Chain A
Amino acid sequence: MKKAIAGRPILLVALSMVLVAIIAFGVNTDCCQTEGLAPVEVREYEGVDLSSINAFRENSIKGPQEIDVESYTLRITGLVTNSTSYTYDEVLNRYQHYKKVVTLDCVEGWSVTILWEGVLVRDLLAEAEPLENAEVIIFHAYDGYTTSLPIDYVMDNDILMAYKMNDVILPPERGFPFQLVAESKWGYKWIKWITEIELSDDASYRGYWESRGYSNSADLDESFFGD
């Protein structure tokens, strides 16, 4: 009996050593694999502290959308001379890329400052050649969400359609493949999962939230309620 009790610590030590060996082996094999390494985002750019890409609150109308990049097309339709559609790679390869730090302010009260990288919507439209009577750009998303912006706002400002945030390709929950960077506008204008850019002369068009009472101009220096 005494021998059996005395033998127990030895057994425990042996078991511990085996456990340590298994863990060490596991850690060691993990450390050498580069597969599955999460993308590393930048958190500072030219002296500006950036928010994390995980600092967003998920508040889309139907939850995160998974878009297959192989079958994805971005269509430019409506009042344009050349209705066109691009694949994801075509958008990235045909147009100049730009980077800028812009803060997204959500009506819910939170905000995030992110380094956005993308192409200018203005450049996309230039190739499509908008007709003179086009007043409004209606953006359509994969989940059915829509929002609109005046064509002058997009042409006069450097409005990006981003494919990267903080140097990381947009994850599906952040709007892959493209999110609009509607700077100086409330967050509901920052449409994610863009699939179509439609030019229209319907100045009274209201997008998803705008038709539910949110301001259509959505200027940050004004209330998000009203016209």
Chain B
Amino acid sequence: MTNQLLVRRTIHWLLTVVVIIYLITGFGITQYRIVEPLTFGLLTKNLAHIIHMNLEIPFIILVVLHLWLLPLLKRFKLKQLSRNN
């Protein structure tokens, strides 16, 4: 597996995990009467709020990387190729 592929896969998986946690904690805030008993009291409204708010920046960074990493790397590679030629 090349480094590029590894980085891409890591970003994709991290983004997936962050999105899932983002969704669950979002429900933990607005539907706390359901989520709290479902998680055996582990995910309280307060905790869901803290996690949800702290995930905002990582989520944005991962989305940006997910969307732009590949095109940026391609452009970088093309530039390198044209220089070598």
Which A residues lie at the B interface, using CB under 8 A? Answer: 57, 59, 61, 63, 107-108, 209, 212-214, 225
Cβ-defined contact, B33 with A108, below 8 A: no
The answer, among B33, B44, B49, for a CB contact under 8 Å with A107, is: B49
Cβ-defined contact, A61 with B46, below 8 A: no
Q: Do most interface residues of chain B lie in helix, strand or loop, or is the interface mixed?
A: helix
Cβ-defined contact, A108 with B29, below 8 A: yes
B4 within 8 A of A: no
Q: How large is the interface on B (under 10, 10 to 19, 20 to 34, 35 or more residues)?
A: under 10
CB-defined contacts of B33 to chain A, threshold 8 Å: 61, 63
Query: What is the number of contacts between chain A and chain B, taking CB atoms within 8 Å?
Result: 19
Cβ-defined contact, B30 with A212, below 8 A: no
Give the distance to chain A from B53, nearest Cβ to Cβ, in Å: 9
CB-defined contacts of A107 to chain B, threshold 8 Å: 49
Cβ-defined contact, B50 with A225, below 8 A: yes
Minimal Cβ-Cβ distance residue in B for A109 = B29
CB-defined contacts of A63 to chain B, threshold 8 Å: 33
Contact bitstring B24-42, A, C-beta under 8 A = 1, else 0: 0000011011000000000
Minimal Cβ-Cβ distance residue in A for B49 = A107
* Complex CA distance for A128 and B11, rounded to whole angstroms: 63
CB-defined contacts of B32 to chain A, threshold 8 Å: 59
Minimal Cβ-Cβ distance residue in A for B32 = A59
* Complex CA distance for A108 and B50, rounded to whole angstroms: 12
Give the distance to chain B from A6, nearest Cβ to Cβ, in Å: 60
12 contacts between A and B (CB under 8 A): A59-B30, A59-B32, A108-B29, A108-B30, A209-B45, A212-B44, A212-B46, A213-B44, A213-B46, A214-B46, A225-B46, A225-B50
